[in-house]
Structure 1
Amino acid sequence: MPYCWRWAWVSKTVTTLTAIDQLLNDYFDACKVLVIAPLRVAEDTWAREIEKWDHLQHLRISKVLGSATARRKALKADADIYVVNRENVEWLVSEYGSKWPFDTVVIDELSSFKNSNSKRFRALRRVRPMMKRVIGLTGTPAPNSLMDLWAPMYLIDQGERLGKTITGYRDKYFNPGARSGHVVYEWKAKQEAEERVYEAISDIAVSMKAEDWLELPERIDRTIPVSLSPKAQEQYRKLEKELLLPFLDADVVAQTAAVLSNKLLQLASGAVYDEDKGVKLIHDAKLDALEDVIEAANGKPVMVFYNFKHSLSRIQERFPQARILRKGKDGIEDIRAWNNDEIPLLLLHPKSAGHGLNLQESSCRMVVWFDQIWSLEEDQQANARVHRQGVRHNIVVIRLVAEGTMDEDVVAALERKAAGQDALMEAVKARIERVKTA
């Protein structure tokens, strides 16, 4: 089997480790294995899964992490599996050059290589011909659109199925949409493109969903409307209007829409950065709502996702018992403490904690989104930190939504599974129209 691509919501780590063990010790079809993973996953998850399963405990793992000196020492260690964080892929490729030693490479969270212009993708692409086998793992293979599939699939089969270049793939399966001059800002999938793309990769892709194979406890989604005081409403409307007025008669492109949306979502959560990077406080309504949620948890741990630094600092100020996941060995200890119910309130950023972490062993029943985000991929991955194999009770995913604000647009898009650049631009343009007619 020259290639394998497997994505799943659950058990992907132990499944892959079992396959690696067989390739190394039963079939003798792999010699040196590299795992590329998000930093926290590289630090904790792979080694911990080996320790948990009797049939895997003979596997030796070396973590290629830390300083350059520590990483070089780890590469020289006698091990079965070498684990590196994705930020060091470029360094690893430059370290070995044409003497790349890994015949089998596992990319944990393959969708993080979806950008064909990123340094990590280009580095891995250079040494891809020296790999015998690449295994990709992800719960969100095409998080925003089919366009996201080309780069990950190229790393799997070097362009055999979807084309050697992103341009060729785009021309075959997409039509140009919104543009400014010669610059195309969005691409629309052609009719039946999805069916044709999935058919093209069907021989090397295995798709499994938890609901198809496991009886997970129920996940309950709740939106808690957060009412702003008349004064806070007035402040929000005033600042929203000031932000949007310059664009009444101008085109809003993706970059501008992202900036405007970011500001409006900050306002909805209660604070916004001013021109001097200071924090302008608007309201505490979400903090009050979070306090009610924590009280309703009756002493059970609560997990909270935030997106803005000022949200983090304000939550920490209101709730001194709150903890964040630290880096390195301290972070591993934090994961252990959380899973043993020693942390009552855990604050996570979806970008740093959305992939691969096993946080389902605590008695946490409530996951709260303090800030709302446009990324459907990050939203799904973050919620899956708790609602996954191993959880023994229902999970309630709560979104704190400031009424009459951009929060409502984001949640509506997530419910349609449409969150992304297109939905973001539509929401911003709709708010500009409201300002125009106000």
Structure 2
Amino acid sequence: MKAVLHPYQETAAGWLRERPEAALLLDMGLGKTLIALTALVDLATVGEDVWPALVIAPLMTARHVWPAEVAKWDHTRHLRASLVLGSASEREAALRRPAEIYVVNRENVQWLTDRYGPRWPFRTVIVDELSSFKNRQAKRWKALRRVRPMIRRVWGLTGTPAPNGLMDLWAQMHLVDRGERLGRYIGPYRERYFSPGRRSGHVVYDWAPKPGAEDAIFRAIGDVALSMRAKDELELPGRVDNVVEVEMPPAAMAEYRRFERDQATELLGEEVTAASAAALANKLLQWADGAVYDDGGEAQEVHRAKLDALAGIIEEAQGQPVLVFYAFRHDLDRLRAAYPASKALGAHSGDLVERWNRGEVPLLLAHPQQAGHGLNLQDGGHIAVWFGLTWSLEAYLQANARLDRQGQKETTIVHHLVAKGTVDERVMDVLAGKRTLQDAMMDALRGGERGE
């Protein structure tokens, strides 16, 4: 197929060609993969030494999106792509295979850097979903930083560069420019652009941007970071967000209240930490979804209110395909039991994405972390349901963009099943930007706004 690039894609590809260090901050669905491939081919055509190139991507994106895109377009299909995935022996075989592009999932970055060490062979590295390298403490970040001096060309691609705040940008940009613009160390970056927020003694729980920090940060990285928004570049059919309030049965609601009160009382007798707040908040999310894990790790169903609400949405869809996002394993198990004909997206889903896009899968179940990056699902449907909500704004935005993206022909409808009077309501506040994640999780220790 001949690729006819949109003007903004031509601009972005040209911008990449001119920069060995670049961060392409494009909204989901704007075609970052095609843009990067086009820039690589253009550089190779004029004699630039770009091969071999390494693409680091989320597993599903590595397995399905990159090889499909390489094979799809007339100007890229001559390239050989080798997938460095699977077992150690499979990865070794893939690295021995001659290719221009090697694609590895981000979980194997440390393995790859340990394997090559100072003999690092990849002249170009493309980090697809650069935001997954926002944690400077993560092994994958440290591993890539070690080999960064040996890489001639680094391009970072993401649609959500700072989902949890501007602090996320430092680690990402450090991999792009080795600390040239935002500083080599996180401490000076924090001191320059942020002020301490809530703290306990010497422990700072969060940092608030200083006045003007956002503009100053983006000015600092402006020569290597290009940002584009879908609403400015494309005419999409639009999206409708719908909140479906779910009433838990009175007995289940009373148990929820009791559990929330007892757990909060127990935790407040100890030092309140982000980890303890997150543990309680996620336990409450399980209650809201309808099942909780007992001490033996077995899921116990406590209500079916969300399953009933989902049944109503599916009935109203009148046979149109529905994409359902779940949060916990017991969510998936209960959904499968209720809908035996449903299909679940996983790391080894084979041709499930293609079958969905051909309209052959009426109900697709997906965890936002598995379907949240790169997958093109817009041809298969336009209705999504959040059965289990997520605290992660990045996961939320990325997952919704699987349907609400370039090529979608219908208005995307996103239903959110929200259990009334539960932590679900606080999660919706986080996703709407009314609260920070930290604030909402700490609220879980205090019974939220009810003051319980």
TM-score by length of 1: 0.95
Match for residue 372 of structure 2? 354
Q: Secondary structure at the match of 2:141?
A: helix
Matched, 1:338 2:356: yes
Aligned-pair CA distance for 1:60: 1.5
Match for residue 434 of structure 1? 450
Q: Deviation digits for residues 7-47 of structure 1, max 9, x if unmatched?
A: 21221111111011112222424232110001111111011
Structure 2 distance, partners of 1:112, 1:421, is 19
Out of 98, 102, 118, the residue aligned to residue 122 of structure 2 is: 102
Match for residue 183 of structure 1? 203
Structure 1, unaligned runs of 5 or more: none
Match for residue 15 of structure 2? none
Out of 405, 409, 412, the residue aligned to residue 429 of structure 2 is: 412
Structure 2 distance, partners of 1:311, 1:422, is 26
Amino acid in structure 1 at the alignment position of 2:176: I
Q: Deviation digits for residues 185-213 of structure 1, max 9, x if unmatched?
A: 21222221111111100000110111110
Contact 1:33 1:104 in 2 (8 A): yes
Structure 1 distance, partners of 2:370, 2:259, is 30
Structure 1 distance, partners of 2:271, 2:142, is 33
Q: Deviation digits for residues 258-277 of structure 1, max 9, x if unmatched?
A: 01111111111111112222
Structure 2 matches for 1:29-68, cutoff 5 A? 29-68=49-88
Give the ranges of 4+ consecutive aligned residues of structure 1 lying more than 6 Å apart after TM superposition: none
Structure 1 distance, partners of 2:86, 2:127, is 19
Contact 1:271 1:282 in 2 (8 A): yes
Contact 1:111 1:138 in 2 (8 A): yes
Out of 142, 146, 157, the residue aligned to residue 122 of structure 1 is: 142
Aligned-pair CA distance for 1:249: 6.1
Structure 2 distance, partners of 1:332, 1:98, is 36
Contact 1:3 1:133 in 2 (8 A): yes
Structure 1 distance, partners of 2:284, 2:392, is 16
Match for residue 23 of structure 1? 43
Structure 2 matches for 1:145-294, cutoff 5 A? 145-247=165-267, 252-294=272-314
Identity of aligned residues (%): 51
Counting matched residue pairs gives 432
Contact 1:244 1:435 in 2 (8 A): no
Q: Deviation digits for residues 151-186 of structure 1, max 9, x if unmatched?
A: 110000000000111122112212222223322221
Q: Deviation digits for residues 77-102 of structure 1, max 9, x if unmatched?
A: 22111111111110110111101111
Match for residue 395 of structure 2? 378
Contact 1:107 1:135 in 2 (8 A): yes
Q: Secondary structure at the match of 2:447?
A: helix
Amino acid in structure 2 at the alignment position of 1:334: L
Q: Deviation digits for residues 317-364 of structure 1, max 9, x if unmatched?
A: 111111112333xx23111111111111111111121111111111x1
Structure 1 distance, partners of 2:448, 2:124, is 51
Amino acid in structure 2 at the alignment position of 1:104: T
Structure 2, unaligned runs of 5 or more: 1-18
Match for residue 3 of structure 2? none
Alpha carbons of 1:11 and 1:417: their partners in 2 closer, same or farther (altered >3 Å)?
Answer: farther
Structure 1 distance, partners of 2:289, 2:449, is 23
Structure 2 distance, partners of 1:149, 1:286, is 37
Q: Secondary structure at the match of 1:28?
A: coil
Structure 2 distance, partners of 1:327, 1:403, is 33
Match for residue 417 of structure 2? 400
Amino acid in structure 2 at the alignment position of 1:101: P
- Single out whichever of 271-280 and 373-382 deviates more from structure 2: 271-280
TM-score by length of 2: 0.92
Contact 2:20 2:155 in 1 (8 A): no
Contact 2:268 2:445 in 1 (8 A): no
